[in-house]
Amino acid sequence: MKTITVVAELTYNEKLMHGDGKNEKKWFENAILMDNKGLLLHDNEVTGDTIGTVNITQILEPWNELDQEGE
């Protein structure tokens, strides 16, 4: 298993995901942003709802280093 470091942006509908409530925003931070330590991209709902779009803005480890590991 390989881990790479990236810089990413999450675009999501804040009204749909948590609204303006303090408790709802705290839930989003804890459940979806994993206490600001990650991003939960999995949804346990049968409908397969989308949380938002993650855009990778920078890969901090060059891809060519990843390719060399398999050689």
The domains of the chain are located at 6-62
pLDDT in the model for residue 23: 94
Is residue 66's pLDDT more than 60? no
pLDDT in the model for residue 22: 93
Per-residue pLDDT tens for 24-60?
999 888 888 888 788 777 656 656 667 777 778 888 8
Contact 8/55 with Cβ under 8 angstroms? Answer: yes
pLDDT in the model for residue 39: 79
pTM over 0.85, yes/no:
no
| DSSP secondary structure, 29-61, as one string | IIIISGGGT-------STT----EEEEEEEESS
Of the pLDDT bands very low, low, confident and very high (cuts 50, 70, 90), residue 6 is confident
Give pairs for 47-51: CB < 8 Å, separation 24+. 51/10, 51/12, 51/17
